[in-house]
Structure 1
Amino acid sequence: MAGRATLVQTVCSSMPLYHMQHNMLPKSVISQIEKLERAFLWGSSPEKKRCHQIGWNKICSPKAFGGLGILSLREMNLAFFYKLAWQLLTKEDNLWVRFIKGKYGVASNGVFEVSSKPTDSSFWRDIIRILPEFKDQIAWEVGDGNKIGFWDDKWISKDMILREYVVTDDHNINSSEKLSDFVNDQNQWDIGKLSNMLYKPAIYKILSFVPPDKQAGMDVPLWNLGDDSGFTTKSAYLSIKKLEANCSPSVWSSIWKGNNQQSHKLLLWRMCHNSLPTRSKTASWSGSSATCPSFFWDWRNRVVNEPGFVYPNEPHRVILSSAKNQLAAWKVVEASSVINCSWVQGFSLKIGLSNPLFAEIWSIAEGLSLAWNLGYRKVILENDSQVAVNCFRSGFNVDKVCHPAVKKVWDLLSKDWVVKIKHIPHIANKCVLTFLLKEV
């Protein structure tokens, strides 16, 4: 079975992937493919049917969630279309994105506001059909506030939409209003406008955040289930299957990381699912008697089937030795680390939804601003994010869509002072961000 599981995972379920990246396969085709996969996995044939002892939905879960990592084709097909929708939202310079937006009249800020006609291509109609559920997985990091829909986008938290906190009737709401429409001429929240339309708890929540900054870059979409809020097809697949992207270590991980044979791992996997064909289990499938004259251990089987077999003299020692070997195969040693650093000065700021990279860039911007305002003119900036540090080194090409605070940092770096930007490993950095400030 271990060999068949490997073949299904690496060959059968991977063959349709190329076509699924740009076509929604018919449900009947997917059903037929998965029917053949199930039969092959459990060793069924037209001549001899075998019991499928674990549900296909469990088998199609990742190994860390108790499955075999075999792809569910319907959900993988949908994940690929999530990827296309993500590119429409974030990769405005891609040739195919420019072509599609031009052909169907999609404005740069209006991906979620378009519709399809019966005469449109099936490709476009399939994308439009998945946009509502795709939008539920999108949050926003605030930049200049010109792309975020004030009422229907998730920008305060990943589960809060302001339309649900409106005082007046929904018909009086302009759904096209952006975040920047609620900022006054002094670049502060327009409290008067907010008070007329929202309940006080929502207003207090909004006022706790920094308003959109005209000097910052564009608003940035965040993928809810990504490790760094960036989109991956894997995280899309997990979201469709309603599984958490970051799961804690479990018994399943221990099974697959063990240093034993694949067939033994599969046996343990089936044991944890309680799907081995023991007498009691087969009785529950067939309705026969569950009474068993002996346990299905290897020695007892050999006593029955091998007349010359003799029990070991000290069976407990054999069992303990086997258990110790299994434990050694699963043991994971975590290296300890020593961190040395000292605190200079710090700050805190609510920036709303973000991811680790964007938070690093915002902290660099605020930290440089703090150093400048304190009068320091020679600054060594140390940061443990290599990607964030690279954004501010000469010759590095920064994607303007992905970094709304980059412009603010470059404006600070252009001032009349000396700033050296250095990367240090996380193990040497006790603080997330450290500034060594020296007077001229």
Structure 2
Amino acid sequence: MNCVVWNCRGTGAKSFPGVVRDLKRNFQVDFLALLETHQEGFRAQRIMDKFGFDQREIVEAVGYAGGIWCLWKNNGSRIRVVQRHNQFIHFHILDCSGSWFLTIVYGSPHFAQRGDLWNNLKSIGTAMVDPWCLVGDFNAFLFDFEKYGGSNSGSRPDRHFRDMVDVNSLVDLGYSGPGFTWKRGGVAARLDRALANTGWRNLFPEASVLHLPPLKSDHSPILIRTHGMSDSGTRKDRPFRFLASWLLHEDFPNVVKDSWQTDWHCDTSRKVHLVSWSSMCKTKQNGGLGLRHVRNQNKAFMTKLGWGLVNQKDALWAPVLRAKYKCGDDLIPKVGRIASASRLWNGIADSWKYVQDGMVWRLGDGKRVRFWSDPWLPNGLALCQYSLAPFSDADLDKVAADFVSASGGWEWGKFDFLLPNEICSLIAAVPPPSCVVQGDHVAWRHSSDGVFSTKSAYLAITKEDGTVRHSFWKLLWKWKGMEKVRSFLWLCGHDRLLTNVARKRRGLAATDVCARCNGAAEDLLHTLRDCAKARCIWLKLVHPSKWHLFFNVPRLNWLSLNLGSNMGWHGSDWGVIFAYACWYIWRMRNAEIFDSPHYGSADPVYAILKLSGDSSRAMSKLCAGNLGPSSHIQRFICWEKPNVGWVKFNVDAASRESLNLTACGGIARDSDGRFLIGFMRNLGDGSVLNAELWGISCALEVAWRSRFKKVLVESDCLLAVNLVNDSFSVSHPCSPILARIHYWISCDWEVQVVHIHREGNRAADTLAGHAFSGSLDLIILDDAPAFLFPVLCVDLEGRGSYRLCSG
């Protein structure tokens, strides 16, 4: 017999019957006793009906106090109630092992009322000559070691309880599992136990007691097995064990083969895994779902803590770890595994290589960054990796400030002969160290703004960048329609539909021939496009001029072609029509093969057009509701003269991606539109944003040298203007040039940096486009070049164009 006794502390929760049924199923419980039930009357009977036992005996609870429910199965044992008391129920049991007695006990939490319990148990024990077992919550313990925590003046071993045990010659049955059966806060005690006399112990020599984990109560259930593990019900859950001797049997391979085939074809509860977990953990741009491997995500979290040792050097926790593990006081600590260190520290040490790989320096005054050996280039690498000659230790220790000329630019003569031209082009895009910029700073090179994020760390650890591997995936996530159709297209992109080719490869089918046309192997393209029953549908949907292209491109190109262009008769929603057509054709194929009449009667072309039309209208309403009324108006944009006394400096940047070059240019004009001064600069290999900010910085530098007192700088890059007018982080990739701009603005003059649309910035755009052929130094134009005359005339005449602008 398996008996469970549990002080459940109430039975009214909706989930409680499910918990009891789980206990009953997992441990094959024959007899269940619930204590402190808090229910009575009809409600108690209705709850017990849900447990699935045959017989019951209860002591009603008084309000929310007390209550004993005993429930058991009719499995051949005869159970009779001998005595009922508000603190126990005494049973006589006759089963295959013999005749014995069982007492279920719930001791009162009040010391005085427990005295009546001890007296009644003494009376029963005095007359007891048969095997006898007592189980339950006695609300008392026998020895000091059976309690943990609490004050010295709290509860102590109950001497009356010990006296009852001694008088009746009872022995503790012991236990396995947690040592305490009750826990609340920091106090724990063994209040629940099983006791028996010598006769019962001799009758059940293999009996055992198990303290189960607590379930929805501060008391742990107690499981008593009268015959040990033999009838515990756990035999079916034993793990599979392979015996090497099985290999010696000549029929062993056939047994395994037959068993696996039976599992595949008969076990309908098992699902086929169409896409691997590693594929789903890729980014959406690479064909995945953006899920993350837990192991790599944990590495990213450890990298975050390692980055905090550098970036949060003054936080409370960082100095503690640095001092404990002797990392030094440098900005970059010395981190390594230590055998006696905590798991946290060794986790940081294991991920420290990712921290080092993500570090990049932002040049300030250049007094801390080593020019050759520290990573400060825009690509996050050190110059020594590109050097054409070896360096001495003294050369490697030179800082970036040692390579700045007296005029504030790079002193190219010291290093350009040691580096390839493309690396010199990278250096040209970086502002040289300057005393007007505060010290050097460390940034995170795997994010666009230089600020650490666990997402960028995860992508760096998994070696995934943000580039799109195939245009289909980008088009897929932009496609507007039902999610189940998008999921279907995602499976098509991975070629993971269960066609006959896939089924044969997995051992689920004997042939890969198409069951509908019997003309070719049924792969994905044959199913959705080339099968005769699918082809007749496409011939009605696709424009005849596109047939040669539609029916002759491979799978991914076919999907991206149809999602990204119009191949049909029916307007601009071809991407929606195509997706629903593929989905409908697949459903038709499944219905025909598996004898489902659902898709047999309707005209497929009409059904596809209706589905796609309904979807397009629904998405249009949804988008219109989210966007609200449009606030765009049409405006005339042209160059405008500045106010009297002001100088307007128009600046712009240019980029040639094929040559990896950027440049900037600018032109200053007065209130009459006259040319005052201009500049051009070849900036080498850098970002467009960096070039736009270079243009603003050079304009301010030229304006200050020209002694202008009121300067209005106009740029058509709104992001650059916002960065200049707002605060910025020292980790930002453009922070050195932004610091220079803020320095110029803080000088003694009036400066405004504003945004202008491209149509009003043609002169600066033309000037920047001619700067690629110039040198890497700033070129000052005292007179307007000839190629600029036509644009200047257009600006003076006030010619421009209309543009749709936000209101």
With the length of structure 1 as denominator, give the TM-score of the two structures. Answer: 0.67
The DSSP-based 3-state class of the residue aligned with 1:136 is helix
The DSSP-based 3-state class of the residue aligned with 2:452 is coil
Instruction: Describe the superposition over 1:345-385 as per-residue Cα deviations: whole angstroms up to 9, x where unpaired.
Output: 154364876794x7665544332221111221111244523
Q: Which amino acid aligns with 1:153?
A: D
Asked whether the 8 Å contact 2:296–2:462 carries over to 1, the reply is: yes
The residue number in structure 2 matching 1:239 is 460
Q: Which amino acid aligns with 2:752?
A: K
The residue number in structure 2 matching 1:263 is 484
Distance 1:373 1:205 in 2: 27
User: Relative contact order: is structure 1 or structure 2 higher (C-alpha 8 Å, sep ≥ 6)?
Assistant: 1
Confirm whether residue 290 of structure 1 aligns to residue 290 of structure 2: no
Asked whether the 8 Å contact 1:219–1:401 carries over to 2, the reply is: no
**Which segment drifts farther, 197-206 or 130-139?**
197-206
Asked whether the 8 Å contact 2:363–2:433 carries over to 1, the reply is: yes
The residue number in structure 2 matching 1:153 is 374
Q: Which amino acid aligns with 1:388?
A: L
The residue number in structure 2 matching 1:375 is 707
> Which of 486, 502, 510 lines up with 1:281 in the alignment?
502
Asked whether the 8 Å contact 1:140–1:354 carries over to 2, the reply is: no
The residue number in structure 1 matching 2:101 is none
The residue number in structure 1 matching 2:697 is 365
Shift of 1:58: 0.6
Q: Which amino acid aligns with 1:298?
A: R
Q: 1:395-410 residue pairs with structure 2 within 5 A?
A: 399=729, 403-405=735-737, 408-410=740-742
Residue 277 to residue 122, structure 1, CA distance change in 2 (3 Å): same
> Which of 668, 671, 681 lines up with 1:348 in the alignment?
681
Q: Which amino acid aligns with 1:389?
A: V
Shift of 1:233: 2.3
Instruction: Describe the superposition over 1:102-138 as per-residue Cα deviations: whole angstroms up to 9, x where unpaired.
Output: 5544434434x55454344433333233233333344
Shift of 1:170: 5.9
**Which segment drifts farther, 179-188 or 271-280?**
179-188
Shift of 1:261: 3.1
The DSSP-based 3-state class of the residue aligned with 2:752 is strand
Q: Which amino acid aligns with 1:316?
A: V
Structure exhibiting the larger radius of gyration computed from Cα positions:
2
> Which of 726, 740, 748 lines up with 1:416 in the alignment?
748
The residue number in structure 2 matching 1:305 is 595
**Which segment drifts farther, 404-413 or 67-76?**
404-413
Residue 169 to residue 118, structure 1, CA distance change in 2 (3 Å): farther
Confirm whether residue 63 of structure 1 aligns to residue 395 of structure 2: no
> Which of 296, 305, 309 lines up with 1:84 in the alignment?
305
The residue number in structure 1 matching 2:35 is none
Distance 1:78 1:339 in 2: 54
The residue number in structure 1 matching 2:607 is 318
Distance 1:181 1:143 in 2: 13
The DSSP-based 3-state class of the residue aligned with 2:698 is helix
Distance 2:492 2:422 in 1: 50
The DSSP-based 3-state class of the residue aligned with 1:419 is strand
Q: Which runs of 5+ in 1 are unaligned?
A: 1-45, 435-440
Distance 1:133 1:78 in 2: 9
The residue number in structure 2 matching 1:4 is none
Q: Which runs of 5+ in 2 are unaligned?
A: 1-266, 517-526, 528-584, 625-629, 640-649, 651-665, 668-678, 766-807
Residue 420 to residue 172, structure 1, CA distance change in 2 (3 Å): closer
Residue 122 to residue 341, structure 1, CA distance change in 2 (3 Å): farther
Shift of 1:60: 1.0
Distance 2:513 2:476 in 1: 30
Asked whether the 8 Å contact 1:365–1:409 carries over to 2, the reply is: yes
The residue number in structure 1 matching 2:352 is 131
The residue number in structure 2 matching 1:11 is none
Calculate the aligned-residue CA RMSD, in Å: 4.5
Asked whether the 8 Å contact 2:378–2:426 carries over to 1, the reply is: no
With the length of structure 2 as denominator, give the TM-score of the two structures. Answer: 0.40
Distance 2:446 2:369 in 1: 19
The residue number in structure 2 matching 1:33 is none
Asked whether the 8 Å contact 1:227–1:246 carries over to 2, the reply is: no
Q: Which amino acid aligns with 1:146?
A: K
Residue 430 to residue 139, structure 1, CA distance change in 2 (3 Å): farther
Q: State the number of aligned residues.
A: 379
Asked whether the 8 Å contact 1:222–1:354 carries over to 2, the reply is: no
The DSSP-based 3-state class of the residue aligned with 2:506 is helix
Asked whether the 8 Å contact 2:468–2:474 carries over to 1, the reply is: no
Q: 1:170-209 residue pairs with structure 2 within 5 A?
A: 172=393, 175-183=396-404, 194=415, 198=418, 208=428
Confirm whether residue 51 of structure 1 aligns to residue 340 of structure 2: no
Shift of 1:273: 1.2
Asked whether the 8 Å contact 1:60–1:71 carries over to 2, the reply is: yes
The DSSP-based 3-state class of the residue aligned with 2:298 is helix
Distance 1:268 1:206 in 2: 42
Shift of 1:155: 2.7
Asked whether the 8 Å contact 1:219–1:404 carries over to 2, the reply is: no
The residue number in structure 1 matching 2:805 is none
Shift of 1:234: 2.0
> Percent identical across equivalent pairs?
25
Distance 1:253 1:207 in 2: 34
Q: 1:111-126 residue pairs with structure 2 within 5 A?
A: 111=333, 114-126=335-347
**Which segment drifts farther, 296-305 or 149-158?**
296-305
The residue number in structure 2 matching 1:12 is none
Distance 1:194 1:134 in 2: 29
Distance 1:164 1:388 in 2: 33
Q: Which amino acid aligns with 1:417?
A: W
Distance 1:382 1:276 in 2: 56
Higher helix share: 1
Q: Which amino acid aligns with 1:372?
A: W
Instruction: Describe the superposition over 1:119-169 as per-residue Cα deviations: whole angstroms up to 9, x where unpaired.
Output: 444333332332333333443343222333323333335175332345665
Shift of 1:269: 1.5
